[in-house]
């Protein structure tokens, strides 16, 4: 592959580069399900190897781009010598050709094998640096692979995300809230694309055991609840609106149960970080008790103490397993209904 000179480094924070990317043209393929991720490389490669209306071979540039937030779309950057008008048309109509505008992105590098678990770990490291330096970021995390497709040994991989340096001061107000409303797969899916939400991490809180595992929590012996750590910018969405979404998407009147998910670890819970969050939560519960729910809300309201991140297999679970039975029959209908009825909250 030829490495295109597609960016300039603006700043460096610890092991993270802030880059200015030029306008680019992508040729991409989006698999219909997660299992198609590995095969996506072949579809786009066929196009650049000559399966187009001109039988023209196109130079393979680097990196290959994988978009986990878009069902693992895989895209190749087209050489700068082409425009949208001069690129040949793919024979396969599943290949999409489109222009990507110039942008500012943050990137963290790693080498060796790449996998979903490694990508999640590196994403968390990138977020920690951006939070440390109060840098505003979107939720469009991508994987850049510089010399080979997924699961092949690479000399260079990257996790990148769009950032807005001009909003740096505002991000000083970024806050976190910890919410549990049944299975954390559902909670994560509900908040993942809410406007103003910067990151959602699944984990455990509210119990007594240090560093519990999923098995420990599911046993009911640790007193932990499955919760999500939700990082959000209050300039874009209020804590009150987050709670309204939270209460809209689960039944807070059932004790230790959501649907068929039963047990203390599935309890409805808000772990507040300060007195302001506590007051807002009490006011919202009082309002909903009076005007919405026939039964009294039993959501536990307790001070936040510690959050334990869940195993990597539970992170981005819905995004990675949309066609699994639980996701198809439980989570997808909930998310689809929510995005329709509360669409003003969603990207």
Q: What is the pLDDT of residue 173?
A: 55
Q: Which residue carries 């087209």 as its tokens?
A: 78
Q: Which of 109, 104, 157 is nearest to 129 (CA)?
A: 109
Contacting residues for 179 by C-beta, under 8 A, at least 6 apart:
187, 191, 227, 228, 230, 242, 246, 269, 270, 271
Q: Which of 206, 131, 208, 201 is nearest to 173 (CA)?
A: 131
Domain locations along the chain: 2-167, 174-345
CA distances in angstroms from 225 to 179, 187, 229, 343, listed in the order given: 9, 12, 12, 28
Angle separating helix axes 184-191 and 332-341, nearest 10 degrees: 30
- From first to last of the 347 residues of the chain, give the pLDDT tens digit: 444 457 899 999 999 999 999 999 999 998 876 555 667 888 889 999 999 999 999 988 888 898 887 778 889 999 989 999 999 999 999 999 999 999 999 999 998 777 777 888 899 899 989 988 888 888 789 999 886 544 455 578 999 999 988 755 444 457 899 999 999 999 999 998 899 898 899 999 999 899 899 999 999 899 999 999 999 988 889 999 999 999 998 999 999 989 888 999 999 999 998 899 999 999 999 999 988 888 899 999 999 999 999 988 899 888 888 888 888 888 888 888 888 888 888 87
Catalytic residues: 183
pTM of the model: 0.55
User: Nearest 10 degrees: CA dihedral of 288, 306, 174, 17?
Assistant: -140
Q: What is the pLDDT of residue 57?
A: 95
Q: What is the pLDDT of residue 171?
A: 43
Strands 142-145 and 154-164: antiparallel
Q: Please count the other Cβ atoms lying within 10 Å of the Cβ belonging to residue 90.
A: 20
Topology at the third CATH level for domain 174-345: 3.30.1060
Helix (H, G, I), strand (E, B) or coil at 154: strand
Contact (Cβ atoms closer than 8 angstroms) between residue 245 and residue 194: yes
* Through-space distance between the first and last CA atoms of the chain, rounded to whole angstroms: 35
Cα 219 to Cα 226: distance, rounded to the nearest angstrom: 12
Q: Which residue carries 């678990």 as its tokens?
A: 117
Beta bridge partners of 6: none
Q: Which of 201, 175, 197 is nearest to 277 (CA)?
A: 175
Cα 217 to Cα 103: distance, rounded to the nearest angstrom: 42
Topology at the third CATH level for domain 2-167: Multidrug-efflux Transporter 1 Regulator Bmrr; Chain A (3.20.80)
Structure tokens at 154: 């690479």
Q: What is the pLDDT of residue 172?
A: 43
Q: What is the pLDDT of residue 267?
A: 95
Contact (Cβ atoms closer than 8 angstroms) between residue 24 and residue 77: yes
Write out 218-253 in H/E/C secondary structure: HHCCCCCEEEEEEEECCCCCCHHHHHHHHHHCCCCC
Q: Please count the other Cβ atoms lying within 10 Å of the Cβ belonging to residue 19.
A: 20
Peptide bond into 63 cis (omega under 30): yes
């Amino acid at each position: 592959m030829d490495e295109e000179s597609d960016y300039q480094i603006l700043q460096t924070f610890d092991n993270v580069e802030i880059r200015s990317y030029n306008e680019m043209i992508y040729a991409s393929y989006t698999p219909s399900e997660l299992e198609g991720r590995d095969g996506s490389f072949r579809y786009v490669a066929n196009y650049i190897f000559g399966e187009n209306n001109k039988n023209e071979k196109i130079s393979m540039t680097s990196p290959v781009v994988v978009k986990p937030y878009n069902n693992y779309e895989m895209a190749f950057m087209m050489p700068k010598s082409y425009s949208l008008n001069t690129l040949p048309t793919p024979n396969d109509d599943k290949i999409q050709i489109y222009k990507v505008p110039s942008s500012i992105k943050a990137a963290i590098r790693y080498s060796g094998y790449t996998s979903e678990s490694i990508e999640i770990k590196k994403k968390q490291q990138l977020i920690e640096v951006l939070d440390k330096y109060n840098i505003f970021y979107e939720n469009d995390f991508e994987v850049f692979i510089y010399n080979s497709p997924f699961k092949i040994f690479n000399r260079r991989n990257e996790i990148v995300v769009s950032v807005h340096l001009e909003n740096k001061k505002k991000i000083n107000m970024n806050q976190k809230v910890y919410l549990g409303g049944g299975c954390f797969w559902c909670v994560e899916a509900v908040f993942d694309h809410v406007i103003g939400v910067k990151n959602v991490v699944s984990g455990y809180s509210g119990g007594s055991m240090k560093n519990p595992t999923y098995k420990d929590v599911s046993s009911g012996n640790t007193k932990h609840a499955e919760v999500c750590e939700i990082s959000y910018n209050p300039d874009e969405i209020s804590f009150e609106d987050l709670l309204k979404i939270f209460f809209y998407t689960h039944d807070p009147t059932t004790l230790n149960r959501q649907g068929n998910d039963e047990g203390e670890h599935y309890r409805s819970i808000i772990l507040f970080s300060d007195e302001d969050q506590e007051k807002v939560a009490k006011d919202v519960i009082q309002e909903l008790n009076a005007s919405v729910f026939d039964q009294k809300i039993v959501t536990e309201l307790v001070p936040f103490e510690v959050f334990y991140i869940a195993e990597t297999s539970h992170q981005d679970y819905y995004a990675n397993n949309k066609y699994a039975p639980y996701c198809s029959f439980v989570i997808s209908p909930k998310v689809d209904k929510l995005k329709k009825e509360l669409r003003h909250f969603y990207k």
